[in-house]
Structure 1
Amino acid sequence: MKVKRRRFLQYAGLGSVGLVFADLERAIASALSEAAGSQDLKLETFSFSVATLDANGQINQQQRHTAKFFPELLTDDGIGNAEKLEMVAIASGQFEMGASRNEVSQEAVMTDYEFPRHRVQLPSFYMSKHPITQSQWAVVADLPKVKRELDPSPAYFRGGDLPVESVSWLDAVEFCDRLTAKTGRKYQLPSEAQWEYACRAGTYTPFNTGETITSEMADYVGTYTYNAEVAGEYRKSTTPVGKFSHNAFGLQDMHGNVWEWSADSWHSDYRGSPTNGEARINTYQSGMRTVRGGGWLDNPSKIRSASRSGYLETELNRTIGFRVVTA
């Protein structure tokens, strides 16, 4: 039987992209006091709870937080049916990027890709609260082409509130370019540093949930455990965005569901990486790009804040989606 190339590429990745290569309070206060970016934006506020887990997967702390965002309107039919992006304000700050060899007891599974740990200072930015959904993708795919055509319905798992997947890095860049043309605001894929800073949200633990994670807090192969938590659920597919709890910056789905494209070219370690939050781009021709966050087909070690892998920018995989940033 002849397999279409597009579907073959999805399955050739063996599901898990990881196989392709073998002071929190201060941060939150800063995020609320700084209007991260343009002064002309009318920021709205939302509140949410953030739970922290101990090594047994039990909640040992629960706090109420507030974050700011602006809604980027994509469509509006005039009768209350609007498609929009919620762009969350991420304040400027610094953090230690990568895994720490001094935290072996917590960061039980590490790879050489995650070293050396290094300090990064970032300016403020906005990041989409969730990975881009299929409904959002379809709207932008209907906008005028900038450089390449887009399939309006590329996903393997179908549902408007599911994250779009099976889109290449080049497709994701085209989405950003079309969104930029529509809004007049520069949209792009996050740099690796922006992504990890936003994921950690002031934490230093393996997950922004604490010492471990459970399938009640993310979509991954929950039948595998990371620490001393009880095994959980394996859903075998993506899940609707926003289903799981927020991190302290107000973002959701940073762990699991889908891997997310970053702007960076793939490098096998952090030697020579920028320390200002910018993307690291090869000066030579390379088709590999970095993906972050892990996906529904990964064990918990792959969805840690420090976990990273690479994938060809032209290829498709049912475990890879993306989210966007703007300044």
Structure 2
Amino acid sequence: MRNILLSFVLLFAAISSAFAQELTVKSFKLAGSDLTAQTQPRKDLNDRNCALIKVGIGLQGVQFEGGIMGNVENKTGEYWVYMPQGNRQLKVKHANYAPVMVTFADYGVEKLESNRTYELIVVTYPQYAITQNVTNQSLDSQHSTPQTHPTVSDNTISIPVKDGISIDMVRVEAGTFTMGATAEMKDPFGNEKPTHRVTLTNDYYIGKYEVTQALWKAVMGNNPSNFKGDNLPVEQVSWDDCQEFISKLNRITGKTFRLPTEAEWEYAARGGNKSRGYQYSGSNNLLDVAWYDDWYDDNSGDKTHAVGTKQPNELGIYDMSGNVSEWCQDWYEAYSSSSQVNPTGANSEFDPSYRVYRGGSWEDDDRFCRSSRRACGEPGDRDRYSTLGLRLVLSE
């Protein structure tokens, strides 16, 4: 009897131990350059192509629930889950783990879109928590003496800041381009003309993403944004606020970050020396690359969205045509037709004085989202700019 009772106790302990572990979402995002949903489509009940979620989890025997179309495909290292457009959740289950419900809006994707491929990474907890704690402890040990050697991968670098937060940056190689309202830029404004040749003689790194609220809070200790969320872009920041942020960031990291010049911003938005001549940053279809607002297509829902949830441009940079507009370093001035080398805007402040900002925002229509579109604002004005944030540049 005692042996039987002991067996039940051990069995209960084993089951409890298994279910003390749970599945945890590490990331969920649109895989902008992955065309699998289009090249290997599956139809929904309305004969429309489904969305495809590629789930990386590293376990066998995983099950899924949530309006799935057809059978889940078990590929090497991942599962392919086809779902109709408009779906907002997916449940992930395994016999040895507590399940997890993935609500897409928590990761900046309001609902799935037809013909799009998404990437979902699910890990097991507590193993993931242990890994994260080790990583955070390692970063914590660097707070008093910031790491000076960033992690490098291909054309990107990741520079740790503090509290486990890093800045991902993309290298932009030097080159020459035509700046302003080139032929592919439809219905331009007058201040985008005349076009002129610009040469940038130095490589530079530019933020892969807009500065997030998590990064701003880590550096500044506050969050001025109207729309709150760690992975949302910071907004309601003035040009002067950005300079204070950058000064503190440079002290923490030992680096020399700054705002991009207007020319650096447009060159990067166009795709640098990998440019394919798109009207918007990464596509001629604005819906692919931007959160914006139009009378016929209010895809932003009148708010910002998590950075990096639309497709990137040719260089792998996100959100340069929408989400929030972005301050540049330059004083604003009219264009000249003369060729320029490393232009930095007006030579001095004039009255009234304005700083340049570039790129469309969540409340702009398509005309304001072209890569050549430019605007300006007073450097100390922040209250009316819930549409305006920033992106960082690091010179080599």
TM-score w.r.t. structure 1 length? 0.69
Residue of structure 2 equivalent to 1:130: 209
Residue of structure 2 equivalent to 1:324: 392
Residue of structure 1 equivalent to 2:188: 110
Count, aligned residues? 243
Alignment of 1:152-231 (within 5 A): 152-201=222-271, 202-214=275-287, 216-224=288-296, 231=297
Partner deviation per Cα, 1:157-203 (whole Å, 9 max, x = no partner): 00000000000000111111111222222111000000000000013
The share of aligned pairs that are identical, in percent, is: 32
Shift of 1:134: 0.3
Q: Is the 8 A contact 2:181 2:192 kept in 1?
A: yes
Shift of 1:255: 0.8
Residue of structure 1 equivalent to 2:56: none
Pair 302,273 (structure 1): closer, same or farther in 2 beyond 3 Å: farther
Q: Secondary structure at the match of 2:33?
A: strand
Give the number of the structure with larger relative contact order, counting CA–CA contacts within 8 Å between residues 6 or more apart. 1
Distance in 1 between residues matched to 2:269 and 2:372, nearest whole Å:
9
Residue of structure 1 equivalent to 2:97: none
Pair 223,217 (structure 1): closer, same or farther in 2 beyond 3 Å: farther
Bigger CA radius of gyration: 2
Which residue type is aligned with residue 161 of structure 2? L
Distance in 2 between residues matched to 1:95 and 1:250, nearest whole Å:
19
Alignment of 1:288-303 (within 5 A): 288-303=354-369
Pair 167,138 (structure 1): closer, same or farther in 2 beyond 3 Å: same
Distance in 2 between residues matched to 1:278 and 1:139, nearest whole Å:
32
Question: Unaligned 5+ residue runs, structure 1?
Answer: 1-46, 52-57, 60-65, 77-81, 143-151, 225-230
Residue of structure 2 equivalent to 1:41: none
Residue of structure 1 equivalent to 2:157: 70
Q: Secondary structure at the match of 1:49?
A: coil
> Structure 2 residue aligned with 1:94, among 154, 176, 186?
176
Alignment of 1:251-266 (within 5 A): 251-266=317-332
Which residue type is aligned with residue 87 of structure 1? M
Pair 326,209 (structure 1): closer, same or farther in 2 beyond 3 Å: closer
Distance in 2 between residues matched to 1:311 and 1:94, nearest whole Å:
28
Pair 284,169 (structure 1): closer, same or farther in 2 beyond 3 Å: closer
RMSD of the TM alignment (CA)? 2.3
Pair 74,289 (structure 1): closer, same or farther in 2 beyond 3 Å: same
TM-score w.r.t. structure 2 length? 0.57
Residue of structure 1 equivalent to 2:166: 84
> Structure 1 residue aligned with 2:219, among 140, 163, 183?
140
Partner deviation per Cα, 1:114-145 (whole Å, 9 max, x = no partner): 01111111110001111100000011114xxx
Partner deviation per Cα, 1:197-217 (whole Å, 9 max, x = no partner): 000001333213343422x43
Shift of 1:87: 1.4
Partner deviation per Cα, 1:294-326 (whole Å, 9 max, x = no partner): 100000110100001111111011000001101
Distance in 1 between residues matched to 2:282 and 2:208, nearest whole Å:
17
Q: Is the 8 A contact 1:94 1:121 kept in 2?
A: yes
Residue of structure 1 equivalent to 2:33: 49
Q: Secondary structure at the match of 2:341?
A: coil
Question: Unaligned 5+ residue runs, structure 2?
Answer: 1-30, 36-113, 116-152
Distance in 1 between residues matched to 2:213 and 2:325, nearest whole Å:
15
